[in-house]
Amino acid sequence: MKRTGGSEDAKRRAGEAAADRVSDGDVVGLGTGSTAAHAIRALGRAVDAGLDVRGVPTSFQSRQLAREAGIPLASLEEATPDVAIDGADEVAPREGGFDLVKGGGAAHAREKYVDAAAGELLVVADSTKLADELAGPVPVEVLPDARPVVADAVRGLGGEPTLRDAERKDGPVVTDNGNLVLDCAFDGIAEPPALARSLSGLPGVVEHGLFVDLADAVFVGREDDVDVRERS
């Protein structure tokens, strides 16, 4: 479920600040979403000015935007990301780090394996995405035939799953991987690591949108500056 909020100026500041962290020769994981898009455009301008980087896209959207921006592309078979820049739907601090909910754009499966492979994950967000505690809903990508089984199992974990419908066509959202998305609402997520393990263990689940302890820094865009929060 796509969550809106935050000004484009705040998102742009966050994306551009994270892009400035990229060094010459880096392989960069390119996240999906409106704030990550600002980082991709900033990297494109840097490439045009002479920066030598390659991008590993996490979705059709980020691949197309990177091509338009002139960023050379690579796959994980060809290169391991030195750094990934990605957005988030929710960001909550945890002792020593951060937990995220991602998947508003239904790209969280590819985002997670690219982000996890990177040497460093930089999260870009505006201040509306900050939370004291994650609340969800948590997107869960499922194999189409497994949808009813996974939905029942999510209810057993205390969640309420809703099949994500497409906005401009009849029927459900279909991911780049050809799967469906269940948006799973929970009454608060007090223990993200425990819920992440439970969801990962459900047969038929491809990936879920809880990104536990993966982020190394969070760039929070505001109207006039960027608040950078580093993992301790």
C-alpha to C-alpha distances, 181 to 58, 139, 165, nearest whole angstrom: 17, 6, 9
C-alpha to C-alpha distances, 60 to 31, 32, 96, 221, nearest whole angstrom: 11, 9, 33, 25
C-alpha Rg value of the chain to the nearest Å: 17
- Rounded to the nearest 10 degrees, how much is the dihedral formed by the CA atoms of 127, 131, 132, 136? -170
Count the residues in the chain: 232
Sheet holding 138-142, edge to edge: 160-163, 180-185, 138-142, 205-208
96: helix, coil or strand?
Answer: coil
Active site (annotated) includes residue 111: yes
| Annotated catalytic residue within 16, 111, 141, 207 | 111
Helix 60-69 to helix 34-48 angle (10° resolution) is: 30
Catalytic residues: 111
